[in-house]
Amino acid sequence: MKMTSIYEGSYQWVMFGRDENKVEKVIDTNQYMVRTSDRCLLIDPGGVELFAPMLAAVLHYAPVDQITDLFASHQDPDIISSLGLWDQALPNAKLHASELWEGFIRHFGCETIEYVPIKDNGCIIDLQDVQLQIIPAHYMHSSANFNVYDPQAKILMSGDIGAALEAAGAPLFVDDFDEHIEKMRFFHQRWMPSNQAKRIWIDRVRELDIDILAPQHGRMFKGGDVNRFLDWFEALQVGIATQ
């Protein structure tokens, strides 16, 4: 599992991904961690097959009793099907996820971990060193769906928005936006169901100061590529299936 620090201040953001031992037929995912002085938040910790490499990677940064918070942007298996294994490993952790998905996400196993339901208008996750804004991104693509915004690090973790399917070992950041477009087009047209929801999300996100847009698949967008992505996505018609 590749571990890359993407923000260093009084706390740290780390991206985990490009796992060289990934099973061929599962989708490659990016996991993120916010590490403060005595806590860790894992953002979209991943599928059940990723639990062992993720735990080993996170333990490079924090002891197990300081992995205190998990966040799931939505209910998909590539996001949070590892929950039942984290549940056995973490003695004192909370899972922050939509209240709408609670009855479904609990199917992955959630006995020790405390489920903290997020209402549709979002919330703040207070890690003491930083207050993270949980921003609504409903129907993007899941019906109850959230992004994580850090106003200090200027990072927006956008879940499946901005996702691209990449070859193994691809670079972490977009380096040629025009070339990157074709890796995103089908995914966004087919998986994002609503042009209206897209419009609401774009208007909301344009208000934010973003240095890094960090999706759950593919490459991150930095600097001018953040706006290039928003402009491209704004013009794209979504909710399209061919049959």
Residues that bind Fe ion (CB under 5 A): 76, 78, 160, 216
Q: Minimum Å distance from CB 65 to Fe ion?
A: 29
Among 116, 38, 59, 51, smallest CA distance to 77 is for: 51
Q: Which residue has the closest beta carbon to Fe ion?
A: 76
Buried b (16+ CB within 10 A) or exposed e, 164-195: bebeeebebebeeeeebbebbeebbeeebbbe
Contacts of 243 (CB under 8 A, 6+ apart): none
Q: Which is nearer to Fe ion, 30 or 36 (CB)?
A: 30
Min CB(209)–Fe ion separation in Å? 25
Question: What distance in Å separates the CA atoms of residue 193 and residue 115, rounded to the nearest whole number?
Answer: 28
CA nearest to 41, candidates 108, 97, 84: 97
As measured in angstroms, the least distance from the Cβ of 141 to Fe ion is 6
**Is the Cβ of residue 62 or residue 170 nearer to Fe ion in the bound state?**
170
123: three-class secondary structure by DSSP: strand
In the bound complex, what is the minimum distance in angstroms from residue 27's beta carbon to Fe ion?
7
26 vs 64 by CB, closer to Fe ion: 26
